[in-house]
Amino acid sequence: MTKPYYLMPDDENYISKTDLKKEQRELQVFATDLCKLSKSQRQKLTASEELQDAFKLADKIASKPDALRRHLQFMAKLLRDEALDTLKLEYQKLTSPGQENDALMHKLETTRTDLLENGDDAINSLLESAPTLERQKLRQLVRQAKKEVASEKPGKNYKELFQYIKNGLSS
């Protein structure tokens, strides 16, 4: 009789029991987090039908703590067969939708700063990534925004440059 893979310390695929238990606990916590999502949010997940059914059962037994605990253990077992990276990414998008918007705004701010500091080089690289932008209009906005920044009064053109970049990159 051969021993299970986690009991053979000589094997390169060896996983200790401690690591297995830790992984199981993490999956249970993730299953609990998924159960806390609303029904409509859970339907947006790319989970298997079996896991979707498990969510429905978890809703039914939510008032029975022991049954729910055992069911979450079962759901953690189901999660092992799922595409965990995809599910975690989807969960993160559902729970913190503002992060994507913040990242986009940060990128746009960085691009505008780069345009003001590096001039034509930055304009050329931006036009390669966003060919819908017009070189002449971009140069004009950058020139006028530089004047506003130099006078320490960023105003209309500074904001207009931001909007122009935003529209050009989103199209």
CATH of the domain at 107: 1.10.60.30
The whole domain housing 34 covers 5-95
Number of domains composing the chain: 2
87 & 113 share domain: no
* Domain stops at, among 75, 95, 115: 95
Distance CA 108, CA 130 (A): 13
* Domain stops at, among 32, 62, 95: 95
- Closest listed residue to residue 34, CA positions, set 96, 76, 63, 83: 76
Per-residue pLDDT for the chain (171 aa), expressed as one digit of tens each? 555 555 555 667 777 889 889 999 999 999 898 888 888 888 888 888 898 899 999 999 989 999 999 999 999 998 888 888 888 888 888 887 666 667 778 888 888 888 888 888 888 888 888 888 888 888 888 888 888 878 877 678 788 888 888 888 776
Q: Which residue has the tokens 């990159």?
A: 169
By the 8 A CB rule, do 142 and 119 touch? Answer: yes
The tally of CA atoms less than 13 A away on the side-chain side of residue 34 is 31
Distance CA 124, CA 157 (A): 20
* Domain stops at, among 47, 69, 95: 95
Q: Report phi then psi at 72, rounded to 5.
A: -65, -35
Q: Report phi then psi at 16, rounded to 5.
A: -70, 160
By the 8 A CB rule, do 123 and 142 touch? Answer: yes
